[in-house]
Amino acid sequence: MAQKKKLKDAQARQKELDEISAEDLAKIKAHQASTKGAMPVDQEWLLLAEFAKAYGWQAYLDVKNDKRDPNGNLLITGAEFLTLIEANRKLDAIQLFRDSQASLIGSGSAQSKSPSSTFKSLTKNIINQTKVEQ
Tell me, yes or no, whether 92 and 131 share the same domain.
Answer: yes
Same domain, 22 and 57: no
Mean pLDDT, the chain, integer: 88
Are both 59 and 125 inside the same structural domain?
Answer: yes
Residues 125 and 112 in one domain: yes
* Number of domains comprising the chain: 2
* Claim to verify: residue 15 and residue 27 sit in the same structural domain: yes
pLDDT digits (tens, 9 = 90+) for 41-67: 889 999 999 999 999 999 999 999 999
Provide the residue range defining the domain that includes 64: 40-134
Radius of gyration, CA atoms only, the chain:
27
**pLDDT > 70? residue 34:** no
Q: Are 75 and 69 in contact (CB under 8 A)?
A: yes
